[in-house]
Structure 1
């Protein structure tokens, strides 16, 4: 549990760096329900982030922000993007080889 002093310090720190939030206005997407468990300390941080986000954009609950945070994290993971691009490239080459037939070289 956060003491009142620590809580106030965090809120003040967030309000002074409000323009530096990574998430912007939330897009609308088709959703699928997923249930997760998180540590209590992380839930507290998510609530604080949601409060700051709500002041900048629109009122939201932390639960609404989680999918957007995960999406932003995945998009910003360079290692993941590189591996995924490599796998996609390999699959495309294999598909091209199948389409060109057994005696022809794949394009590219």
Structure 2
């Protein structure tokens, strides 16, 4: 088998989640979608923006990142 530099792509099958939001958070997310539209000129739904918002939040949480690295170290 030949060596390939690119690793095999991970499973990219979307996972659907149903969540309930309080009215204040739903309104805030709606305003964020409007802000995104003004910033980029692209109108996106809250449902389309939410995965990126959650990913950005998790990527920016340094304590969570350390915890994940430590957990990975414990498994090896």
User: Which interval holds the TM-score relative to the shorter structure?
Assistant: 0.7 to 0.9
- Higher Cα Rg, which structure: 1
TM-score, normalised relative to structure 1:
0.55
2:22 to 23, 34, 39: 39
TM-score, normalised relative to structure 2:
0.76
Runs (5+) with no aligned partner, structure 2 = 1-11
Asked which structure has the greater RCO (Cα within 8 Å, sep 6+), the reply is 1
Alpha-carbon separation, structure 2, partners of 1:32 and 1:55: 29
Alpha-carbon separation, structure 2, partners of 1:53 and 1:30: 26
RMSD: 1.4
Q: How many residues align?
A: 64
Runs (5+) with no aligned partner, structure 1 = 1-28, 93-108
